[in-house]
Amino acid sequence: MKKKTKLILGIFIIILITIFCLNIDVLGYRGSIALESQLNEIISQKDINKMKEISKDNYSFSFLSGLPKEEKVDSTSDMQGGTDELYFYMATVNGHDLEVTMKRKTRVLIGPKYEIEKVQVLQNK
């Protein structure tokens, strides 16, 4: 092979490997990071409309809207299961367990994007 052909082939392989690596998401790890970031932002901004949109029920909305702006997500789990588009996580905020559904959108060149779909506060019994 000519040097130019080898160079072009090498660049093409590097591009393919880069795209593959950007799209790898082992066990929904990026979703866990996105969950924490998005929920912290919603709480700190007191975004009532977004809280209504993502709350699965009135109890969850009351909990989220009643949190102080300074409250943060204490912990998040790895992905607990799901489908190709919906991933399930657990999170803890202010000592309460939350069941969170994240929607995964595949973006070929820059990797998956996650967005909070629903949040349900589990009532302690």
pTM: 0.77
How wide is the angle at C-alpha 92 spanned by C-alphas 28 and 75, nearest 5°? 55
Give yes or no for residue 120 having a pLDDT over 90: yes
Residue 90 near residue 98, CB atoms below 8 Å: yes
Average of per-residue pLDDT across 67-85: 89
Question: Which pLDDT score is estimated for 22?
Answer: 65
Residue 37 pLDDT grade (very low, low, confident, very high; cuts 50, 70, 90): very high
User: Which whole-number Å values give the CA distances from 61 to 48, 70, 94, 117, in the listed order?
Assistant: 9, 17, 15, 14
Question: Which pLDDT score is estimated for 3?
Answer: 83
Question: Which pLDDT score is estimated for 51?
Answer: 95
Average of per-residue pLDDT across 57-64: 96
Q: Residue 107 burial by CB count (10 A; 0-12/13-18/19+): exposed, middle or buried?
A: exposed
Question: Which pLDDT score is estimated for 18?
Answer: 78
Cα gap 90→101, rounded to integer Å: 9
Question: Which pLDDT score is estimated for 64?
Answer: 96
Give yes or no for residue 27 having a pLDDT over 60: no
